[in-house]
Chains A and B, each alone.
Chain A
Amino acid sequence: MNLRRLPLYVTIAIFVLAFLLCWLQFPRILSTRVVGNLLTDNAYLGIAAVGMTLVILSGGIDLSVGSVIAFSGVFIAVLLRDTGMHPLAAFALLLMVTTAFGAAQGALIHGLAMPAFIVTLAGMFLARGIAYLLTLDSIPIDHPFFETLQRAYWLMPGKGRFTLLGAVMLLAVAGGMLLAHRTRFGTNVFALGGGEATARMMGVPIGQTTVLIYAFSGFMAGLAGIVFAVYTAAGYPLATVGVELNAIAAVVIGGTLLSGGSGTVLGTLFGVLTMGLIQTYIVFDGTLSSWWTKIVIGLLLFLFIVLQKGLLTIGAARRAA
């Protein structure tokens, strides 16, 4: 087994174990209803986290996703309110805008040779600032097409709803898996995360890959924004503050090395589901307070960061021996 794979198995094991513990305490948790809600409620986070996974795999970080999601909602709401545009056209336009936004961030990171952290910090300010400029209030979206989207679900056995939003997330995960693990671009992303200097010497087009990575993250953030807009039926510039942090946490808990070069998109899905499960548990329990979510996520982060550090040390020792 490749040592690099271990965190993925740990992630899945933690999720299964956590689910088992929840089930022992609340047998009702093992129902298609809960599973359906888990997918629907975390759809936007999962989609954003898929984009974040590629960014982190390449050794970067994207702080702008929370702001881009909020911007997306506002952008769509304003377009639908002020023009007669069909939502699908608005979606397409939005995805173009956010993809270009991401690409611009990637170009700056590569062009200025500055840390992704600070460049995407500017992007974070900019995207939310523009959202504010569009509106300060929550704009409700009451387009009939939105209702169609919200009501699109497949009733699973046991009355659970497998919604369109959940399906979009699973599709995004599947797409991300193909992109990361089955394309030349994906391998280039891993190569970049493994070491930029080496990757360059091996012929990886560094600039092009960097731009594409952040463009992909921008696209995913836009898609997450659409899903969030459908989910809440509104555009609100103050929404999804700090989602980038949750996305990063999901990626790390999903077993991706935060300094890049190692990880899986599938793991990220389990990272998101684990975070969702913690919240579900707290809801089921009823007496536990919501802040335990943050503390447990912090603990999981610590666990995975130390695990990865340990794996790096073991790997180095193995080679030296």
Chain B
Amino acid sequence: MNGTGLLRRVAPQLLTLAAVLALVTVFFPSFLSVGLSGDRLVGSPIDVLKRGAPVALLAIGMTLVIATRGIDLSVGAIMAICGASAAFAVDQGWSLGVAVLLALGAGLLCGLWNGFLVAVLGIQPIVATLILMVAGRGIAQLITEGQILTFSDAGFAFLGSGAVLGLPVPAWAWILAGIVVGLVVRRTALGLLIESVGVNLRASRLAGVNSTVLLLTVYMISGLCAALAGLIVTGDIRGADANNAGLWLELDAILAVAIGGTSLLGGRFSILASLIGAMIIQSINTGILLAGFPPEFNLVIKAILVLLILMLQSPRLGDVAAGLLARRRRADETGAAPRPVQEAGR
């Protein structure tokens, strides 16, 4: 996609973000001000960039998974496992490098497990990833032995609360991860193949696409993103909380992807749009807090957001709305055989 195409793709998300920011500024005028404290930037926008990091990171992997017509419910639990692994390593006196590698390895392994269930055993993604969603926190607690495993390793803490060139490390993490994954999928053929499998798995296979390896890959990327998110959350609170790290963040990540306009039915995806989606969610969170509304508004707003997205993505409402414009095209399609519904459990 060239520059203008990209801009057109993310325009709705950018406009929404702008509207949210404007709205918050109305209630809390100094919301957009950024200052310099020592050598780091401070202010609400920076706070949004930092606090939105876990969901943004998860959204990167989730975007790819959803683009293949899948879903990954286990990312929150994977965060907990990876955070616990890293904290365990640091607690054992191992070096930070080992701890990070251990966490990333754990994330990859979790992704491999999910991918194996989906791609090899052919279990529906929502069912397959539910297993790790339930068991994952138990595994994390097993690692931390039920404690909140705290540590004082400055390097590790830096991952969660440090700053580089004025910007918090978590913000760097999701921006860089977004750029890296975005470049990898768009500069290689991965993106095209993922979209192809998401739109029409059967035709893609017949064109020679190795869907098994592709599905394994996206779930592993998702696991890796969750591992990064887990490291950041753990570093931030200087402790691994197996119970609460990443709790319910999978839902926020799915929401971010949906706000980003990637269809839950697979196909075209945009990582940038999902990241903006994550920032929209975080801006609402932070904004509500700052504007002095009770934080409990948050969930109601999220519910309304989901409903709006549902309306926009609904094939049935879409038909009605696009009815006049696309009458010809739609009639063409009804003339042919309906798209086969994927059999459950196949």
Contacts and interface: CB of A to CB of B under 8 A. Distances in A.
A118 B131 contact: no
A289 B264 CA distance: 38
Interface residues of B, number: 52
Contacts of B131: 298, 301-302, 305
B27 interface: no
B306 A125 contact: yes
A191 B135 CA distance: 32
Given A121-B251, A259-B127, A309-B121, A291 B242 contact: yes
Contact of A297 (B127, B135, B255, B294): B135
Nearest to A259: B344
B126 A117 contact: yes
Interface string A105-131: 000100111110111011111101110
B199 to A, nearest CB: 17
B44 interface: no
Contacts of B132: 298
A24 interface: no
A89 interface: no
B130 interface: yes
B122 interface: yes
Contact of A129 (B141, B255, B299): B299
A309 B300 contact: no
A121 B126 CA distance: 14
Given A118-B306, A119-B310, A197-B341, A295 B135 contact: yes
B94 interface: no
A129 B345 contact: no
B146 interface: yes
Contact of A298 (B134, B295, B314): B134
B307 interface: yes
A312 interface: yes
B146 A113 contact: no
Contacts of B299: 125-126, 128-129, 132
Interface residues of A, number: 53
Contacts of B75: none
A156 interface: no
Contacts of B145: 289
A133 interface: yes
Contacts, number: 139
A145 interface: no
A297 B138 CA distance: 9
B138 A129 contact: no
Of B123, B306, B313, B315, chain A has the most CB atoms within 10 Å of the CB of: B306
Q: Chain B interface secondary structure, helix, strand, loop or mixed?
A: helix
Interface string A207-226: 00000000000000000000
Contacts of B294: 132-133, 136
A301 B138 contact: no
A305 B306 contact: no
A171 interface: no
A130 B300 contact: yes
B300 A293 contact: no
Given A132-B294, A136-B296, A293 B314 contact: no
B310 to A, nearest CB: 5
A264 interface: no
Of A257, A259, A296, chain B has the most CB atoms within 10 Å of the CB of: A259
15 contacts: A113-B315, A114-B310, A118-B310, A121-B255, A122-B303, A129-B303, A257-B345, A258-B130, A290-B141, A291-B139, A291-B142, A291-B242, A292-B142, A294-B134, A297-B138
Q: Which 10 A-B pairs have the closest CB atoms?
A: A298-B135, A132-B296, A294-B138, A129-B299, A291-B141, A129-B300, A126-B303, A259-B344, A122-B306, A295-B138
Interface of B: 71, 121-124, 126-128, 130-142, 145-146, 242, 248, 251, 254-255, 258, 264, 294-303, 306-307, 310-311, 313-317, 341, 344-345
Given A112-B314, A298-B131, 5 more contacts: A108-B307, A136-B294, A291-B139, A292-B142, A295-B142
